[in-house]
Amino acid sequence: MIKGVEGEITEISGNEVTLKAGQFYLNILCSTNTIKELSLSAKVHLLTYLSFSADRAPEIYGFKDRAEYNVFLMLLKANKIGPKMALKILSATSPEMLQKMIASKDISGLSRLPGLGKKTAERLVSELYDLVKDYAVEFPKELSDVSEDAVGALTALGFDMTSAKLAVNEVLKEQTVENTQELVRKALRKLNKTR
C-alpha cells in the first residue's frame, strides 16, 4: 500500500530511523546498509514495505537503494522468511553478494550469515534460485579445474565459497597463473583486503 515515504530524518537509533513526513513522525526499520547512507536532518525518499499482522501495529521497513529493496521483496517470497529475518540477512551482506551466494548454491556461505541456519539457507537456495540464477559466478571453461581446486583450498581456510569464487575469478581476469598454488596465493591477498 505505501511504497515510499519522503521526509526528514529526525532520529537514528540502532536500525531504527524516525522520518518526519508532514505532521507524522514515522518509525522505520532499516538495514545496516541503508542506515550508513542516512544522516540527521537529511531529506530523503525511502522505498518502504508495510508489514501488517492482525494483532500488532503495522511496521514500516525502509530502503535507500532500489536493489536492496528488490532483494528484500524477493526474500519475502521464500517460505518462513518474514520482514525481520529478511532485514537481518540484508544487514549481514550486500544485496548483490546475497544473490551470488544463492545463485552459486553456496549453502555453507549462507549458513554463516548471522541468524541464518543451514535449513533456512537450503530453503533460500531451493525457493529463490530461479529468480537469481543469472548471478551465478562462472569460471572460464578451460580453467575450471584449477579454479575449483583453488576455491576448495580457500573455503578450507574459512572463506565462503562465493567470495572465494569471486576472488579467483578476479585474479584470472587480471593475469595468467602458473598453477593452483599461485592462484590461491593471489586470491587470498584479494580476500584479505576486502575483509
Q: Which residues bind a second copy (CB under 8 A)?
A: 1-7, 18, 20-27, 45, 48, 50-60
Distance of alpha carbon 121 from alpha carbon 106, whole angstroms: 8
Nearest approach in angstroms of CB 58 to a second copy is: 5
Q: Which is nearer to a second copy, 21 or 92 (CB)?
A: 21
Q: How many CB atoms lie within 10 A of CB 137?
A: 19
Q: Which is nearer to a second copy, 28 or 132 (CB)?
A: 28
Q: Which is nearer to a second copy, 62 or 109 (CB)?
A: 62
Q: In angstroms, how far apart are the furthest CA atoms of the chain?
A: 66
Nearest approach in angstroms of CB 176 to a second copy is: 44
Nearest approach in angstroms of CB 187 to a second copy is: 39
Q: Which is nearer to a second copy, 51 or 94 (CB)?
A: 51
Identify the helix (H) or strand (E) that includes residue 57.
strand 56-63
Which of 41, 16, 20 has the alpha carbon at shortest distance from 30?
Answer: 16
Nearest approach in angstroms of CB 148 to a second copy is: 40
Distance of alpha carbon 101 from alpha carbon 125, whole angstroms: 9
